Structure 1
Amino acid sequence: MRRRNTIFAGTTLLATCMSLALVASPVMAKEVVKIAFIGPLTGGVSNVGLGGRNSADLAVRLRNQDPKSKYTYELVAQDDECKPNVGVQVATKVAADKNIVAGVTHYCSAVAMATVGVYNRFGMPAVVWGAVLPEVTYGNDFKEVHRVNGTMINQNEVAYKFMAGLGYKKWAIIHDTTDYGKGHNKYFSEFLKKGGGTVLGTFGVTADQQDFTTELTKIRELNPDVIYFGGLTPLGVRIRTQMAKLGIKAQFQGTSGIKSDAYIQGVGKELAEGSLSFIEGAPWEKLPGGLFFTSKYAQQKYGESAEAYGPFAFAAANLIMDAVEKVGPDRKKVRDVLNKTRDVDTIVGKVTFDDHRQNIVSLITKYVVENGAWVVWEDSSYGKGKRKLAGL
């Protein structure tokens, strides 16, 4: 009798323990998938890099909140400092880590150009979120390298036609001597000459040059309608400021490289007024997805704004995660899914990759600084004819 009771008691205890174990057992955790973000987190264009990182981080946070997501995503952020040698180091570090399935990579064109071979060699898919030099995608046929933003070819064709349509005829060109600046000079000059415009003088300057008295004095003597600047924000701030000191009244025309809050802050509201910038894609601020992005970004209370290219980083991260959701965290399979991207809705508009994994961008958005903020040209007082740019 005692033996039977002992067996019964033991069975009851075992059942109770199993029941408690089932109750206490946590829900099966999702597999963690790592994706990289690489951009300039320090240095002169760090504001753009931090905005890009925050935007990719936002995409990851939102995906992790989705109960339908098959995986939990982790963003691994790396600083390329907008320097090619550093970019190669961090790209190699990321690509060699097999736990990282793909990357949202690079704002600076010189860095993007230096790293494409790394991604190809390690077989890691990369989606460029900001670099605009055409050769990043078209210079090779690396199936691992994609770009969600457009190129400087798109920018400069629209930029010239727009400026010529306003009535401008004579330009002086200042560009930095990196691949980025030389590329902008090349493409804008080609479109300008085809269209019948006149280049009065072209001046290459180093990205770290501080004093432009020699170049700007010569430009003042040439008396152009417009000074075209091909370079990034820090250099643009110095040039625009020194233009004012030398009394140069020409219209200041920049590229996407100055489409930054830091440009306005650097030169001040008064001098920034009327400056122009051209950037790929539809004005995301007006797209339903753009409004969603801005509201969600604000909720996270990041310390930096998203800047001009943040939405592209957000879109790039989502394309990668969409691919992982379809085929799992396998680099080759993710690459193949990305290569077949066609007509996908994102916050920057439709994304379709061509045979070189370059997004086909059908629209360039024109921006002008008005009252201390970048405003879509058509929405501005300038676009509505209430204000005039310099020389008109």
Structure 2
Amino acid sequence: MSGIRDAAAILAERLHAFRSLGDNCEFGFVQRYGGVEPSGLLRFSYTPLEDLIRGLRCGFSDFGVPGDLRLSVSAGGTYYCHSVAYNIWANTGHSAGSIAPEALLEREYGRLAHLKGKFLEDLADGTKILVRKTGRDDPESDFARLAEAVWAHGPSTLLRVTEAGPGWVPEPARRVADRLIAGTVRRFAPAEQAWEVDLEPWMHLVDGAYALARGAAPARLDADAFPEVLPLPGRLRRHVGRHREPALSAYTRAVDPAAVRGDAVHVFSSWVWIPEDFAGTRIFAAAGYARLGWRDADLSRRGCWQRVWAAGRLRPEAAREPVGLGMIGTRRDAFWSVGARFAEGPIPGEGPAPALRMPPARFPGRDLLGRLVPRFA
């Protein structure tokens, strides 16, 4: 692994060079799912653009002064800390009832004072790449005003991120000005569910933007750049539901967390083929019980190979963690899989689709025992 210079380690190193300019918490989760937890004033904050620009222009002088902060409880039961002066809402990470509100508010005043000072230092030395998402129809003038407010503090590089839509393909980030880089992801996470990150496009964008800003070479993001940590049988398999009524059928291997690095993110991936008559409601991957990044099967795509994957950390206190595939359906439902891999890294890496041509659903090929068999291209 050391000779390859593991892509997971390179991506984690590069993620540390970025800081969020708010909007919402999505990029904070991108960093978490990539295996890093850098501090940042706006990392897990909802920050409207106009308030952000206003705060930058005055160095956030009133942010966190006595009387500025308020606590509120979100619909999900989490304490949020609100700056009245700048309309910034920060996720404290504490659920309601887990800590006394007075103690939490005092802690937030201290934490935000430290992070504000560090944020202004970062702006002054210009060593971080600052990330802000924008809508495809947002006026260019709005981002120009943001850039002007940032550059008044120092020579930071800005990364402007927009949605490309379902047709997204990996492409290099592009430099549009001396200290301005632009790039795309397939989709943004839902506004109220910022943890539902479409991680692969973000990893490609982070890698490309870092390489462009630092004059470095892009990282290898093919599958072989994420070495397997446990060998799995990658042969063609048919998975059949096990229940009369719709329910979970799991096709997993129980992995001992002691067999892998406990501080690392690991990803399980597999190619799946969904027949035309499949009536289940979900096909997905698992890499432990706590998923970070993932991509479930697109049930609208039938009769072709598509990749599913899930990334997570295996809990060291657990005796075993499930790694493999799952399906919600009945025993009348089935699908095929091939090419299973379990590797260290936040994403599975790129790889070619299997060179297997499956039998048509109406005319399945069968062996001498009556079992379905594939045709090979």
Provide the TM-score with structure 2 as the length reference: 0.24
The structure with more strand, counted as a fraction of residues: 2
Which has the bigger relative contact order, CA under 8 A and spacing at least 6? 1
Give the number of the structure whose alpha-carbon radius of gyration is greater.
Answer: 1
Provide the TM-score with structure 1 as the length reference: 0.24
The structure with more helix, counted as a fraction of residues: 1
